[in-house]
Amino acid sequence: MEEKILLRCEGIYKSFGATKALQNVDLQVNRGEVRGLIGENGSGKSTISSIIAGVQPYDMGKMVFRGKEFKPADMLEAQQTGISMIVQETGTIPNISVMANIFVGKEGRFKTGPVLNLKKMKKEAQKILDEIGAPDIKAEDSIMKYNFENRKLVEIARALYDKPDLLIVDETTTALPQRGREVLYQIMKKQAAEGKAVLFISHDMEELMENCNAITVLRDGGLVATLSSEEMSVEKMRSLMIGREISDDYYRNDWDGSFEEDVVLDIQHVSCGALIEDISFQLHKGEILGIGGLSDCGMHDLGKAMFGAMKLLTGKVIYKDGTIIKDPKKAIEKKIAYVSKNRDTESLILSDTIANNIALPSIPILEKNMFIAPGKEAVLADEQIDNMKIKCEDREQLTGQLSGGNKQKVVFAKWLGNQSDILILDCPTRGIDIGVKAAMYQLMYRLKKEGKSIIMISEEMPELIGLSDRILVIKDGKLSGELHREANLKEQDVIQYMI
């Protein structure tokens, strides 16, 4: 008879220099369950999942998988043992085919002598893509042909190919549109129904409660509690995560949707990307303008276009002094900031220091005789690290070593350090925990009160309603509705314009 316990972690410790990432963590995952794992950024949830998946070793403790002691040397060994992981960031390899991405490290299975059987490889890859509900992705195509969301589906196909006993889903749903999320939820349910298990890491508490049999909470590197489905509630999980209560009105505490009459950015008849067609609106001084819609409505392309990072097919983006914004250089010159929803690939240089990332938009200010003055850069970085309360060793730490929430703080820091007056924020709280979200919301409200203007593109309905002075809704690339801030505005009022 198969043992009910699939994975058992006992007394796991892990440190990075002086930082204690995990302290005496005990975790048990049973067959037939979807186990949720939550905690603030830096709580240790991604560290424990990466240890289980073979990405990095633990310092002390013991792991038992399928009844045998388990200490994988790398991800490949973990996969061969029956553990696969899908990560939050991009996990595909550029400039190779979809099928090569699915079978990376497994090419030997398709070789006859030295010859690779591409026909068999293509057939197997397409089969798994069809099984996960992604038949429109073609195995022979270059991975570069597909957008971020479809690349995540390729990663899911890769993770499921070996039919793992334990599937680790690390904050993957934030990168997927609703269709992709539903596909992943079905995969997780099927995995559990087959007597296997899922370790599901997410910041979305409603999502966790809907899909998990039990939820384990981590805080400051330690395990705080494991809740059964009967014990789960948003309030309880929030309190356990951060050690204090957070009220539901943490977006802002007023329903005054007023702003100044001065127009700071004028969007005139803009068409861009594959969908956005003839969109016009104005952004005012001191306004938080929310833009919402289904994930694939075109709003993310519009965000790039307003920053000059995507070519317009028609129309103009006009700054308050009459300057037409045609490229990011001109936008930055006019103190316009852009925070991409794809933080790690478009907003940060992960292999560079925190200081250099913060300094990027401010190079003209920091430059002297074609060289950046190190003293000025250090002062700017330290000011913003303090201002944004970025948890790090020092300004010289590599940005890629930070937690998701602290990476996002670095993105905000670089634009605030540049004294930006207009901020275009595309899913600004994507993939960050409840505590950092609350801090970001407070920051955005403070910036509004200081007279700065914000365009917030969001897929989260409570965020749009909770923060915006006005909400513009986009459906199939066109403006379909406009709503103003008021106390009785409901999600359904917004959704009716989306679908």
Which residue ranges of the chain lie beneath pLDDT 70?
A: 1-2, 88-90, 244-249, 369
Please provide residue 52's backbone torsions phi and psi, each rounded to the nearest 5 degrees. Answer: -60, -35
Q: Residue 244's pLDDT is what?
A: 59
Q: Residue 278's pLDDT is what?
A: 97
Q: Residue 1's pLDDT is what?
A: 42
Q: Residue 310's pLDDT is what?
A: 96
In tens, the pLDDT along 472-493 reads 999 999 999 999 999 999 988 9
Q: What is the dihedral of CA 35, 39, 42, 47, to 10 degrees?
A: -10
Asked if 303 and 314 count as a contact pair (C-beta separation under 8 A), the reply is no
Q: Could you please report the per-residue DSSP string of 48-102? A: HHHHHTTSS--SEEEEEETTEE---SSHHHHHHHTEEEE-SS--SPTTSBHHHHH
Order the strands of the 276-284 sheet from edge to edge: 276-284, 263-272, 312-319
Domain 263-495 has CATH 3.30.30.60: no
pTM over 0.85: no
CA distance 194 to 203: 26
Pairing of strands 5-16, 19-30: antiparallel
Examine domains 5-242 and 263-495 and report if their fold is the same.
Answer: yes
- How is domain 5-242 classified at the architecture level of CATH? 3-Layer(aba) Sandwich (3.40)
How many alpha carbons lie under 13 Å from residue 168 in its C-beta half-sphere? 24
CA distance 11 to 257: 51
CA distance 300 to 291: 10
Sequence spans of domains, the chain: 5-242, 263-495
Written as one letter, the residue type at 73 is: A
Calculate the alpha carbon distances from 379 to 6, 113, 296, 355 in Å: 51, 60, 41, 9
CA distance 102 to 97: 9
Residue with tokens 């250089």: 329
